[in-house]
Each structure stands twice: as C-alpha cells, then as structure tokens.
Structure 1
Amino acid sequence: MQRQLVERELTEEGPLRGSGAKGRRRTVTVNLAESPIAWLHARGHLDDRLFDAGERLRADYERAQLAPSVTMRWDPVRIKGGADAGLNPTERQIAAKDRFHGAIAEAGRGLSEILWRVVCAGESLPDAEKGLQWPARSGKLVLRIALDRVAEFYRIG
C-alpha cells in the first residue's frame, strides 16, 4: 500500500491562510492513508491484539470484495500463503466473505455498525458517532468492545 503524506503549515491560530498570517509557523506531516484504527493504535488507544483483529477484519472485507464498485475490476487478486493457500481466487473470496460475516456476527447486534464504519469504510470515530447519533467520545469504548469480540473470533491471543 502506497502512503500519501501531506505537509501543511500551521500557525498558533490554525492553518496558514496566506502570506500575511501572523504567529509562529510549524510544519505538520499528515498521513492521509492512515486508517482510523492505525491512528488509534499509534497513539496507544488500541493495544496490539485489538489492532490485529481490526486489520484481519479489514483484510477479509477487502479479499471478499464487499466494497461497492462502480465498474468492472481489471486487477487480479494475488494473495500469497496464508489460511487460503491452495484455493483458487473464487474460493479465497468466498472464504474471506464467510470469515468476515462470522466476525461481524460474533461482534453482535449494535456493534457491527461501528466496526463496518471505522474498520472497513475508514470513517473517523467522530464521523461514525455522528452518523450513528451517539454521544461524543462514546465510539472509542464501543469500538474496543467490538474489536475484542472480533479478536476472540479470529483467536488472536
């Protein structure tokens, strides 16, 4: 996966809006390709076990090709090794879909929506909380509970 990094100049008051901005300047590098769970993990809000569970769920979501597509896919799916070694591409896709649906079912009703929004769709926690009409700052706790159940499904110790 190729990462896209963006540098923005900031002042004490916020983003720099032209050459006449006053205040101290600093440059911040932002990784636009960083997933919300990677962001939470990097800042200590998710432990390794929960992060690995989220990454496994996202990988199964991608392998199952469950994301909406606008046109025909021309890129072949190439997966080396892993649990699906020896399967043809269609069988790998079906196995990933079964694992994904099993993990979502293990999370249970009410938790699957936050998993899908944050882990699979890459929505930020504040956006997911607004979309689900939850109180601010409640998403992190619920996401941790959901990821704990997914880790149990994938048998991540």
Structure 2
Amino acid sequence: MRVMPAQSPNHSAPAFNDAESPLGWLRARRGKNGQPLISDLQFVAGERLRVDFERAMLAGRTTLNWDLAGTGARTGNAPAELSDGAIAARRRYHAALDSVGPELGSILEQVCCLSAGMEQAERLLNLPPRSGRAVLGLALTALARHYGLLAAPRREGVVGWSAPGSRPVAGGAGA
C-alpha cells in the first residue's frame, strides 16, 4: 500500500491501496507472454488522470458535507465554490479526455476514475466480452501520448502521391 502525500499540513494523507485499483491489478498481472497486462507508462498515465479526477471533485458525494452544514456558507453555486486547484484539475481532466476522444475516454473514465472492473466497464459501455482490456490498452497509450510520456509515432513512407518533380497547377485542370 502506498500513501498519497498530504495536501495541507492540517490533514493526514489518505491511504491508497494499489490492490483496489483496476490499473494496479492489471499492472501486477502478467499475460501469456510474461509481460504485464499494462505497461508502467500506461499505469502512470491512468493514475495521473485519476488524480486529476479526484482533485477536480468530479465524483459524486456519497455522504452529507458536514463541513458546511448549518453555516449558510453554501451559495448553491457549486462552480463558484471550487478552488483554483480544482478548476485547474478539471481543465486538465477534460483536456486529457478530449485528446483521446469519446470512444476511448469513456473506458478511461470507467476504469481509471470510477474504479470499475473490466467486466463492469464492458457491460456499461456495451463492449463485446473480453475486449475491454484491448480497448483500455489503446486508450492508456493515447493518454500517455497526451501527457508526453510517449512520443508520437513517426510516419515514414508515402508523404504524397505526386510524381517526383511534378508541381500542382493553379486554377484546376482548365487553366
């Protein structure tokens, strides 16, 4: 179990159990080839997304917020009550999901942020059975690329379809 650092000196750091994380589970398991089911870079990218999700306070509350009960401090304008750090985390979170697209972002949200297991994520997203791990792998790779953990693939080979030395004609074919 690792302990996340405290955000302020007045609060103790919450414990985070890697065994409870679907990403931690996938990272600890080996495939038929002996390699981990997700790479270290994929794990780091998924954890970074999870941290931004938690700091952005996007998860629904499951209990009453007793910190502000009876004080009248809540205005009912939740976005106005967010800290600058939470707003920055929301921007980072949405930028990351926008970069991978809605098809891959949905599985990242389910597995990385909401801690859904693979079978549960497949059901929620209407994916064929046992395809979620492949889709998650693609999503984590795209996310790692967004965070700069992986370089963009180089495209070699054909860069154009014209013959060597040819030049385009301005104005179209009839000019």
Fold match, TM over 0.5? yes
* Partner of residue 40, structure 1: 26
* Partner of residue 81, structure 1: none
* Partner of residue 85, structure 2: 92
SS in 1 for 2:83: helix
Identity between Structure 1 and Structure 2 (%) = 41
Give distance in 1, aligned partners of 2:96 and 2:66: 26
Please point out which of 108, 116, 122 is paired with 1:123.
116
* 2:47 equivalent to 1:55: yes
Shift of residue 111, structure 1, vs aligned partner: 1.2
Structure 1 pair 130–72 and aligned structure 2 pair: CA distance change class (3 A): same
* Partner of residue 73, structure 2: none
The amino acid that maps onto 1:137 is R
Give distance in 1, aligned partners of 2:103 and 2:145: 17
Give distance in 2, aligned partners of 1:118 and 1:95: 22
SS in 1 for 2:15: coil
CA deviations 1:98-141 (Å, max 9, x no partner) are: 00000011110211111111110000001111122211110011
* Partner of residue 143, structure 1: 136
Give distance in 2, aligned partners of 1:42 and 1:63: 26
SS in 1 for 2:65: coil
- Compare relative contact order (CA 8 Å, sep 6+) and give the higher one, 1 or 2: 1
Give distance in 1, aligned partners of 2:90 and 2:139: 18
Structure 1 pair 73–100 and aligned structure 2 pair: CA distance change class (3 A): farther
The amino acid that maps onto 1:34 is E
**What value does the CA root-mean-square deviation take over the aligned residues?**
2.1
* 2:58 equivalent to 1:66: yes
Give distance in 1, aligned partners of 2:39 and 2:134: 13
Give distance in 1, aligned partners of 2:66 and 2:57: 10
> Which runs of 5 or more residues in structure 1 are unaligned?
5-30, 75-88
SS in 2 for 1:102: helix
The amino acid that maps onto 2:56 is A
The amino acid that maps onto 2:15 is Q
Shift of residue 2, structure 1, vs aligned partner: 3.2
Give distance in 1, aligned partners of 2:105 and 2:23: 15
* Partner of residue 15, structure 2: 2
Shift of residue 3, structure 1, vs aligned partner: 5.9
Q: TM-score, normalised by structure 2?
A: 0.61
CA deviations 1:64-105 (Å, max 9, x no partner) are: 00001142264xxxxxxxxxxxxxx81111111000000011
SS in 1 for 2:37: coil
Shift of residue 60, structure 1, vs aligned partner: 0.2
The amino acid that maps onto 1:67 is A
* Structure number with bigger Rg: 2
